[in-house]
Amino acid sequence: MIHRPMLRGLIAFTALAGLAACDHGPGSRGNPPGTAAERALDRAAGTNTSGAYPAQSDGTRVNPPGTAAERTLDRAAGTNTSGAYPQQRDCTPNNPPGTAVSRTLNTTDPNDCRR
């Protein structure tokens, strides 16, 4: 015969195991990763904060590196802050070392590009 304390423990374990088996938390079947708020943000902003939209991650064909604001800055200023415009970084044929001002004032060090 099973002792009473052991029987209580067995009943408690069975109840907890049953609850764990019924878990419908984020990432389980029928409930994608992240919270509803995170998924709404992802849909609105085109991000993958929740993990439910891997196609919207940075660096994919659909979503290049950096944020939209960084890419806008890069296009306007001719920089590569976001990483989406490597042809615009310093020391390339399209963008010599330094800034336009430093080149005009002749204060650009030509050794900046020698690495």
Averaged pLDDT, groups of 10, the chain, 115 residues long: 68 65 60 87 85 82 80 88 86 76 81 70
The residue among 32, 34, 56, 33 whose CA lies nearest residue 44 is 56
Instruction: Answer yes or no: do 47 and 84 share one domain.
Output: no
Instruction: Answer yes or no: do 50 and 83 share one domain.
Output: no
Contacts 24+ apart (CB under 8 A), 37-44: none
Output the CA torsion sign for 52, 54, 59, 60: negative
Output the CA torsion sign for 63, 65, 69, 73: negative
Contact predicate 26/34, CB 8 Å: yes
Domain of 38, in residue numbers:
34-63
Query: Does some domain include residue 53?
Result: yes
Instruction: Answer yes or no: do 71 and 115 share one domain.
Output: yes
Instruction: Answer yes or no: do 85 and 53 share one domain.
Output: no
Query: Does some domain include residue 82?
Result: yes
Query: Does some domain include residue 113?
Result: yes
Distance from the first to the final alpha carbon of the chain: 80
- The pLDDT assigned to 25 comes to 58
Instruction: Answer yes or no: do 43 and 72 share one domain.
Output: no
Instruction: Answer yes or no: do 50 and 74 share one domain.
Output: no
Q: Which of 46, 63, 80 is the last residue of a domain?
A: 63
The residue among 19, 47, 51 whose CA lies nearest residue 35 is 51
Instruction: Answer yes or no: do 50 and 92 share one domain.
Output: no
Number of independent structural domains in the chain: 2
Please state the pTM of the whole predicted model.
0.44
